[in-house]
Amino acid sequence: MENYSDSKGRTEEEFLAEYDRTKYDRPAYTADNLLLADCGDGLAVLLIRRGNHPHMGQWALPGGFVNPNEKVADAAKRELTEETGINVETEQLITVSAPKRDPRGWTVSTCFMGLLSEPIVPNAGDDASEAKWFKIDYLAAGDVYKLKLTCDGIDLSAEMNVSRDAGGKIDIDSSEILVNNGIAFDHAKIILYAVESL
């Protein structure tokens, strides 16, 4: 193999020895899980009630931080099992990266999706104080969408101004949550994106 030198005359080995990993700011990396199930009269999504800050007490997709040297798919599976006791196959849905999506700082998340023929009873654990299946309903009036999630007398909702990419898909990072009632982070946008992608 030919040994190349850069403009400073360095080999790749010399370049890597001098490389400063702190030169560029790096986001935290998380993995989320969006499980959808047929609840007989529509779709339901699995959510956990957050037991810790930020958004403590609000409902979120099961997920968490990717550990050092851990594949994101493995992190998603681990978090799903830890927070809900459920272990199912999922596929990568989307990566979201808007700089202010998490109040703790710049956080990029890859979301994995699983489709189930019926809900599996969850068992909340780790930093999830509860886990429940919520029935999904939404209405659209132009670019404004209203998402409603209901379960056992718990009503969650969000109103969003939806932006779309050139292919017509929801652009999560450019869409805006106008009103939020009980859904943590930008997870209302991810739920709407997943339902529209089916």
Number of structural domains in the chain: 1
pLDDT in the model for residue 14 = 86
pTM for this structure? 0.91
Is the peptide bond prior to 54 cis by the omega test (within 30 degrees of 0)? Answer: yes
Cα–Cα distances (Å) from 6 to 1, 10, 23, 24, 191, in that order, read 16, 5, 19, 20, 46
| pLDDT (tens digit per residue) in 111-142 | 999 999 999 999 888 777 899 999 999 999 99
The enclosing domain of 94 has a CATH number of 3.90.79.10
pLDDT in the model for residue 4 = 85
Q: How many CA within 13 A on the CB side of residue 188?
A: 26
For residue 147, is it within any domain?
A: no
pLDDT in the model for residue 126 = 74
Percent of the chain clearing pLDDT 90 (strictly above)? 80
Chain centre to alpha carbon of residue 108: 9
For residue 158, is it within any domain?
A: no
Cα–Cα distances (Å) from 105 to 29, 50, 65, 185, in that order, read 11, 18, 13, 12
Q: Which helix (H) or strand (E) holds 69?
A: none
Please state the rounded mean pLDDT for residues 168-173: 94
For residue 42, is it within any domain?
A: yes
Does residue 163 surpass a pLDDT of 90? Answer: yes
The whole-angstrom separation of Cα 144 and Cα 153 is: 25
| pLDDT (tens digit per residue) in 74-96 | 999 999 999 999 999 999 999 99
Identify the domain containing residue 188 by its residue range: 26-135+184-197
Does residue 1 surpass a pLDDT of 70? Answer: no
